[in-house]
Amino acid sequence: MNGLLALLLLALGVSISVFVPVYGASAVIAGAGLTFVAGALIYRAGVEREFLLRIFVAGLIVRVVIGTVIFVLDLQDFFGGDAYTYDELGYSILRLWQGETQFQWHIDRFSTGGGWGMLYMVGAIYAVVGRNMLAIQYANAVMGAATAPIIYLCAQHIFHNVKVARVAAFLVAFYPSLILWSSQGLKDGPTVFLLALAMLATLKLGEKLSFQYLLILGCALFGTLSLRFYTFYMVVAAIGGAFVVGMREVTAQSLARQFAIIITMGLAMTYFGVLRTAGSQMERFGSLEAVQRSRADQSRSGRSGFGRDVDVSTTSGALTAIPVGMVYLMFAPFPWQLGSLRQSITLPEMVVWWASFPLFVLGVWFTVSYRLRQALPILIFTLMLTLAYSVFQGNIGTAYRQRSQLLVFYFIFVGTGFVLLKERNEESQQVATAAKQAAISRRAPHRV
């Protein structure tokens, strides 16, 4: 199966190089290089190598196909017009690196806000292959596909259950919205990839102090800061809280390890100026008044806005907005809100998510009851981000898009609930079969 998938990926690359003139060949070369690096790292994981490589390659093929269709048919505006912004500003950064200072004004607005990391990524890739949006899409596709093995490793680390890990990885690899957002030149794919990587490194460090995972955590956090700064602060809070409480039994050795990791993170953030940057960013974006302005703009955006009369500029208003905001974040768009083609195509995956939600609740219940310490960083982060988006979001489309940052972790709990339910059904069937056999043996005549 792995050989067949590799052959299919190779054939796809050759076809794109031939039938997508100008951009196809260089984009395929860039994607192939990243694919080789990702595949080598997945192979080194040492756990279910064949399955992880298979799920990675299969997920990558789907993303490359979708990304190519979007590029060839020029559907970026339909699915995510931000791709054009990152293309233009990323190219401006490249020209600035080449000494053309007239492009400086074009990127200054990203110096204190979020998203500047995406510009640097785009500029770096353009420096190698030239201005090529398809190459950015393929780079994101590799990161999106690689997220599935990372989530597998997270789930396996927490539950030590192959079935749970496989279900979670499968959902991350093939859930439509996760495929869509990581097939375009948007920052959603890299953001989700880095969040998953940060959680995996945190889980590993909770078990054993490792310079390798400490470095991975630092890089993942820095990358997250460069893409979505508010998500970075939630990740740091979740990681810090998990290390303070402890993800394993409290011993002198574990306390020393956790203290060393927290001190190292603090020193690194201080050295790189994160704390100073945090102050200016929180001043500009962190107040409830700023949140209210952003939310009001979203809620007035066409027919997809909601809660126009909600005011989150006060603490009481923000708390009041959470229940309705959470319903929209978790379940929108609803069937009665499908007023356009873009909204209507989400219905099949929403049915899958609505049907999976009871499994999610069951998985969360089991995790909190029996794996609380082990899953603490993921639980804290998903809770914080869910509450934050419930207050911040005022638009169905934006909520649907931002949900991808949570779904990759939600699917771990969905996998847990699915395996629990399956095992309970199997046990019930075994009990019923045993009772039936016992009844038959009691009715059978005794032979002398």
Structure confidence at residue 169 (pLDDT): 97
- The answer to whether 261 and 209 have CB atoms below 8 angstroms apart is yes
CA dist 76 and 74 (Å) reads: 6
Structure confidence at residue 226 (pLDDT): 87
CA dist 313 and 195 (Å) reads: 28
CA nearest neighbour of 118 among 281, 4, 228, 266: 228
Residue 257 burial (CB count, 10 A): 20
For the chain, 448 residues long, give each residue's pLDDT as a single digit of tens.
667 888 999 999 999 999 998 999 999 999 999 999 999 999 988 788 899 999 999 999 999 999 999 999 999 888 888 899 899 999 999 999 998 887 777 777 665 556 889 999 999 999 999 999 999 999 999 999 999 999 999 999 999 999 999 999 999 999 999 999 999 999 999 999 999 999 999 999 888 888 899 899 999 998 998 898 888 888 888 888 887 776 666 565 666 666 676 677 666 666 556 656 665 666 566 667 777 777 877 777 666 777 778 888 888 888 888 898 899 889 988 887 776 777 778 888 999 999 999 999 999 999 999 998 889 999 999 999 999 888 888 888 888 888 989 999 999 999 999 999 999 888 888 887 887 888 777 776 555 4
Give the Cα-Cα-Cα angle 313, 392, 357 (nearest 5 degrees): 140
CA dist 329 and 333 (Å) reads: 9
Tokens (6 digits) for 18:
């031939």
Tokens (6 digits) for 303:
């027919």
CA dist 247 and 372 (Å) reads: 8
Tokens (6 digits) for 120:
């640097």
Query: What distances in angstroms separate CA 305 from CA 183, 297, 326, 328, 373, one per listed residue?
Result: 25, 9, 15, 11, 38
312-320 CB contacts, 8 Å cutoff, 24+ apart:
312/288, 312/391, 312/392, 313/288, 313/289, 314/288, 315/288, 317/288, 317/292, 318/288, 318/291, 318/391
Domain boundaries, the chain: 287-433
Structure confidence at residue 206 (pLDDT): 85
Residue linked to tokens 């279910």? 48
Going by the DSSP 8-state scheme, the letter that residue 160 receives in this structure is: -
Tokens (6 digits) for 235:
């990740």
Q: Measured over all CA atoms, what is the biggest interatomic distance in the chain, rounded to whole angstroms?
A: 104
Residue at 328: amino acid letter: Y
CA dist 275 and 277 (Å) reads: 5
Residue at 242: amino acid letter: A
pLDDT (tens digit, 9 = 90+) per residue, 55-86? 999 999 999 999 999 999 999 888 888 899 89
- The answer to whether 311 and 292 have CB atoms below 8 angstroms apart is yes
Peptide bond into 333 cis (omega under 30): yes
DSSP characters over 193-225 = HHHHHHHHHHHHHHHS--HHHHHHHHHHHHHHH
Strand partners, 305: 395
CA nearest neighbour of 409 among 191, 180, 262: 191
Tokens (6 digits) for 429:
């069937």
Q: What is the distance between the terminal CA atoms of the chain, rounded to a whole angstrom?
A: 58
% of residues, the chain, pLDDT over 90? 48
Going by the DSSP 8-state scheme, the letter that residue 108 receives in this structure is: G
Structure confidence at residue 112 (pLDDT): 52
Structure confidence at residue 448 (pLDDT): 45
Residue at 229: amino acid letter: F
Structure confidence at residue 437 (pLDDT): 83
CA dist 75 and 67 (Å) reads: 10
Structure confidence at residue 308 (pLDDT): 78
Indicate the SS3 state at residue 257.
helix
CA dist 2 and 443 (Å) reads: 53
Treating both helix axes as pointing N-terminal to C-terminal, what angle do 188-207 and 211-227 enclose, rounded to 10 degrees?
150
**In whole angstroms, what separates CA 164 from the centre of its chain?**
18
Structure confidence at residue 119 (pLDDT): 92
CA dist 341 and 414 (Å) reads: 28
Structure confidence at residue 107 (pLDDT): 72
Residue at 388: amino acid letter: A
